[in-house]
Structure 1
Amino acid sequence: MGKFEIKEAFYLNEEPFKIISGAIHYFRVVPEYWRDRLEKLRLMGCNTVETYVAWNMHEPNEGEFHFEAGLDLRKFIQTAQEVGLYVILRPAPYICAEWEFGGLPYWLLHDPNLKLRFDYQPFMEKIHRYFDQLFAQVIDLQVTNNGPIILMQVENEYGGYANDKNYMRKMAQMMIDQGVNVPLVTSDGPWGDMLENGSIPELALPTINCGSKVKEHFKRLRAFHGEKRPLMVMEFWIGWFDAWGDEAHHTTSVAEATNELSDILDEGSVNIYMFHGGTNFGFTSGANYYEKLMPDVTSYDYDALLTEWGDMTPKYEAFKEVIRRHTAIPEFPLTTVIQKKRYGKQTVRQRVSLFETLDTISQKVHSNYPLSMEALNQGRGYIYYRSQIGPARPIDDFRLISAMDRAHIYINNQLKTIQYDLEIGQKESFVLDMPENELGILIENMGRVNYSVKMNHQHKGIKDGVLINGAFQSEWEMYALPMDNLEHIDFTKSYHVGQPSFSRFVIDIEETGDTFIDLAGWGKGFVTVNGFNIGRFWEKGPQKRLYIPAPILKIGSNEIIVFESDGQVTDTVTLTDIPDLG
């Protein structure tokens, strides 16, 4: 049986052990490429891999658990061990990670009294039930059972959110009760009160998250310990993420990051965040909110050591040279064959307006007032509201009350305006000119906020109502559109210019390879490939092309469906072997 201990340093089986780790999120990488990414981590000299665990992926609906295919966490951990890596597991209910709702399931919002990340009994009970399922998958993979897991983290950056020590202690005890017997850690920023707020030193070793000034931050951490304890940067930020509307893809200095890594390894241990960022497939990207909504793009490239599509970078090579000074670098051949392919320009085969096929992809719900996505048991995607608003007349005061995130407003299926974030709730005026008039509102969930105080208010769609000439409108039809059943689209129906639409492409290929879809000329929406949602696009960038991993494709006929919400389409898309993150 193995043993991992925290004394004045880390010890593995009684020998001092410097953790040199890199972050890979299994849920951001197709499982066919897990081994490739892990091998590249080992070949750089790292001895450990770290991953978060995304609760909202494993329990998408309350009581419905998934640990198969791309969510087979157990297989990911076992593959890491096969490659020669130890594992740091961060199974906290909250992960941040620029992930939808910070990894929390949307259905927690069903509780109107919900207190996220506090010692609130209903919240704790739901975590306990989840932990029962999660730890059954991994508990025997601890190093104490000759598995690869050497550390587990309690919560995540809690000191930047609150200081409820009862919550933290109960979370740690909950893990211990599940059979966790490897050491526990916490991770917080080294600024302000974060270490004091988030640490429970009697139960878990405090570690820090930062991207620069490591010597200064280690000095603070050493003083916080008050005794000789191992120093560790649990998240060494070597890049950054992109939000829609950013001027360009974020990149960082290779030289500066390399110098900081050297400083860390001279004094302690490290987990490089991110070694490989991967992709926010589907509607999984989160958002930040300070002065305004900043939803994250589909790519989580992060300017990491491996690109989103798994290529080694100059930063990878530079880090490898630093690591070489501290440990031997293994050599072995990569086992996964990966190539990029250019399939060229493709022409649309079929196109249909969303409004024509609503009833084939969603079941109409009637209510005398509009219901939020959560009230309709919908986590992600879009929702469409429809109401009859009477005869021709001027409308002087039209407003959406408590709605998020991006709303298309239609009169008689003709787009009137688009409101986004801070624009929502602003007064609109227009004239109804038909004997009878129909109001339609298509709302997109751009990703629930994953950090800070706005997390407490993340109901999507329309929560309160719609004002027509200053009064709440009643009698609504609603269509939940999670967009997970596009096989039911009726492409025999009509397409109307300017309306949201689905466009279908069919591509015959003789050999599969990684490729990138270029959507130049298209407005905003998402793309599915053979039923797999590869993520969102938006003309405002910075990301211009979406990554399609080869395992999603197949030899022969492949179906691509592009949903576009803004009425801005072309008749072609291009599949190229060249990415463009902006």
Structure 2
Amino acid sequence: MNHQQQSFAIADQFYLNEQPFKIISGAIHYFRVVPEYWRDRLEKLKAMGCNTVETYVPWNKHEPREGEFNFEGMLDVRKFIQTAGELGLYVILRPSPYICAEWEFGGLPYWLLKDGDMKLRFSYPPYLDAIDRYFARFFEETNDLQIGSGGPIILMQVENEYGGYGNDKSYLYAMADMMKRHGVNVPLVTSDGPWHDMLENGSIQDAALATINCGSGIKEHFNKLKAFHGEVKPLMVMEFWIGWFDAWGDDKHQTRDADSAARELADILEEGSVNIYMFHGGTNFGFTSGANYYEKLAPDTTSYDYDALLTEWGEITPKYKAFQEVISRYVELPKVELSTVIRKKAFGEVTAKERVSLFAVADLLAVPVESPYPLTMEALDQSTGYLLYTTDLGKNRRIEDFRLIQCTDRANVFINQKPLFTKYDLEMEGAEAFDLTEPDNELAVLVENMGRVNYSVKMNSQTKGIKGGVIVNGAFQSRWTHYTLPLDNLELLDYSKAYAEGTPSFYRFELEVDEPADTFLDFTGWGKGVAFVNGFNLGRFWEIGPQRRLYIPAPLLKAGINEVIMFETDGKAPGVIRFEDSAAFME
């Protein structure tokens, strides 16, 4: 956009260049979509009749280690915003620190937890200082893209759904002040659920417009928002939930029918503005998926399809058409030529070329760290992935009482590199008994971070790995060796080393393609693990579903030979994978 002397203001309604303006926005998270497809998804948003795109900003990806910043590739937020502007779309930016978003730790960086006294999302000085340093760098990317400078950004959000977490107003004001100090000059908003105390807790009405997040009951919630405002202000649903996300272990893919969602959209647009969550969900590539925790751990799937208006792979749905019809009552639908050619292809079955056990290559992937007691991922400066612990259990004898204390989230336990049992979440601290039969016995525990919780009261206790210790016959076991396995260096694997069936192992495949096309990796028959294509971490697979296939966007492939690596932890590896031309979920 190159609109000179543009302005955006909040009064009795939204005003764009001093003219009343209804925001019709859809959410696309740039960090969940390969950059080659950003324009395609944004064109489809515009074609539906939307005038604005909204995106969160994941602090933990932009500052993966304290003081190290990344704004390249899938994290080039500036390019995403500029692409939206080129298409004539405005932008709502929700720039952290906390985003929820079913994303690892709600977007907070793991290294905050290295401070044992850390108080997340409160007026805790070390936390505020870390945000201040991050904002100083982040807003360099976006300040000149605000509407007053001729850019497309019209609104920014302070924090996110804070009313569902706390009521520390001084923290919210500190966030708003910090944003302004670092160059933000567009109007600010907050967004909260309209239930209980959430609006009251999460709003700073003299500094930011209160908006609501909900999926139904719009008329009733708007009445509540009007009363809360106390004067005539614009009504907005900042997150209009039109679908939902899947957790591993759900019995089916979560969906919402198009008709009820379209009726609620009509109710919103009759009185106010909307941001549709999600317009396009995309994918939790790598180890980026978060988790919820109420009665038990519920880690999110790799797919963030969300039953959104575009599928995970970017196709228009019946729900999109229903929404487009509602929007057409308020705006003239633009003619948009789609500029990106996207094809899907089934490449068929591929058999593993090579395989090697983790135990044979752990010392290639990690420098062993010795400690008298087990260390957490955070203590070892590891963000995500796996952590392998080994220790000498001594001579053959009966172990009557074996327990993993404060271990998260999932642990595969081995004696002399043979699987003994697997522990997950609530089962973790239950006592086990077994016999050691060899003269010498090595214990190994492979612990997986399934995604740090991204919402509610468990957020301050998200250390991963073994925090408490390992009980062997009533006493804490000492003398541990640690291997950190973020799996970001698989080029170091040596497949000439040993392979043993039933152990955590790496399997290497070669997929030959004439020309790249979108495809879906079917992991039927495989247990649990993570898949890589040409060194790119696609994300987790798990036989319990509901997700059955991993989406591979064409830009991750190349003409010729493509390397696919499956890391499988549970000893269920048929040695064959298939590439299909459609997604699959449990029905």
TM-score by length of structure 2 reads 0.99
Partner of 1:581: 585
Q: Does 1:334 align with 2:338?
A: yes
Instruction: Please state if 1:241 is matched with 2:274.
Output: no
The answer on whether the counterparts of 2:96 and 2:107 sit within 8 Å (CA) in structure 1 is no
Instruction: State the match for 1:346 in structure 2.
Output: 350
Question: How many residues in Structure 1 have an aligned counterpart in Structure 2?
Answer: 582
Q: Which of the numbers 60, 73, 87 marks the counterpart of 1:56?
A: 60
Instruction: Give the corresponding residue for 1:302.
Output: 306
Aligned match of 1:162? 166
Deviations 1:198-245 (A, max 9, x none): 000000000000000000000000000000000000000000000000
CA distance in 1, matches of 2:96, 2:283: 21
Q: Matched residues in 2 for 1:424 and 1:132: separation?
A: 42
Give the distance between the partners of 2:464 and 2:49, measured in 1 at CA.
Answer: 44
| Cross-structure match for 2:524 | 520
Q: Which amino acid aligns with 2:445?
A: I
The partner residue of 1:390 within 389, 394, 397 is 394
Give the aligned residue type for 1:386: T
Question: Once the two structures are superposed, what CA deviation does each residue of 1:452-482 show, in whole Å capped at 9, x if it has no partner?
Answer: 0000100100012111101011111110000
Q: Which amino acid aligns with 2:543?
A: E
Aligned to 1:183: 187
Runs of 4+ aligned residues of structure 1 deviating over 4 Å after TM superposition are none
CA distance in 2, matches of 1:443, 1:530: 25
Q: State the match for 1:380 in structure 2.
A: 384
Alignment-derived partner of residue 69 in structure 1: 73
Q: Report the alpha carbon displacement of residue 253 of structure 1 after superposing the two structures with TM.
A: 1.3
Partners of 2:392 and 2:253 lie apart in 1 by 44
Taking only aligned residues, the RMSD between alpha carbons, in angstroms, comes to 0.5
Within 5 A, what are the aligned runs for 1:94-133?
94-133=98-137
Cα distance per residue 1:440-462 (max 9 Å; x no partner): 00000000000000001001000
Instruction: Please say if 1:361 is aligned against 2:357.
Output: no
SS of equivalent residue, structure 1 residue 132:
helix
For the residues of structure 2 that align with 1:155 and 1:92, how far apart are their CA atoms?
6
Unaligned residue ranges in structure 1 (runs of 5+): none
The letter of the residue matching 2:208 is A
Aligned-pair identity in percent equals 65
SS of the equivalent of 1:18 reads: coil
- 1:414 matched to 2:418: yes
Query: Counterpart of 1:409 in structure 2: which amino acid?
Result: V
User: Which amino acid counterpart does residue 282 of structure 1 have in structure 2?
Assistant: G
Structure 1 residue 544 corresponds to structure 2 residue 586? no
* Superposed displacement of residue 332, structure 1: 2.1
Query: Helix, strand or coil: the match of 1:407?
Result: strand
Deviation at 1:573, TM superposition (A): 0.4
Once the two structures are superposed, residues 77-133 of structure 1 have per-residue CA deviations (whole angstroms, 9 ceiling, x without a partner) of: 000001110000000200000000000000000000000000000000000000001
1:554 to 558, 563, 576: 558
Aligned match of 2:512? 508
How far residue 68 of structure 1 moved from its aligned partner, in angstroms, is: 0.9
Equivalent residue letter for 2:195:
W
Matched residues in 2 for 1:472 and 1:140: separation? Answer: 56
Match of 1:287 among 271, 287, 291: 291
Residue 266 of structure 1: aligned partner: 270
Partner of 1:567: 571
Amino acid at match of 1:365: V
The Cα shift of 1:578 comes to: 1.4
Aligned partners of 2:7 and 2:381: how far apart in 1?
A: 45
Q: CA deviation at 1:342?
A: 1.1
Partner of 1:434: 438
Classify the secondary structure of the residue corresponding to 1:374: coil
Give the letter aligned to residue 430 of structure 1: F
What's the CA shift for 1:37?
A: 0.3
Partner of 1:276: 280
**What is the CA distance between 1:581 and its match in structure 2?**
2.7
Deviation string 1:23-67 (CA, Å, 9 cap, x unpaired) is 000000000000000000000000000000000000001110000
Residue 425 of structure 1, CA deviation: 0.9
Question: Quick one: which amino acid aligns to residue 542 of structure 2?
Answer: W
Q: In the alignment, what sits opposite 2:30? A: 26
- Rounded to whole Å, the distance in 2 between the matches of 1:281 and 1:321 is 33
Match status 1:466 vs 2:454: no
- One-letter code of the match for 2:419? L
Secondary structure at the aligned position of 2:384 is classed as coil
Alpha-carbon distance in 1 for matches of 2:220, 2:11: 23
Which of 249, 252, 257 lines up with 2:261 in the alignment? 257
CA–CA distance in 1 between the matches of 2:350 and 2:318?
34
Q: Does 1:495 align with 2:524?
A: no
Q: Matched residues in 1 for 2:405 and 2:96: separation?
A: 34
Q: Which amino acid aligns with 2:485?
A: L
8 Å Cα contact 2:313/2:551 also seen in 1: yes
Tell me, in whole angstroms, the C-alpha distance in 2 between the residues paired with 1:540 and 1:130: 38
CA deviation profile, 1:113-164 (whole Å, cap 9, x unmatched): 0000000000000000000010000001000001000000000000000000
1:432 Cα deviation from its structure 2 partner: 0.7
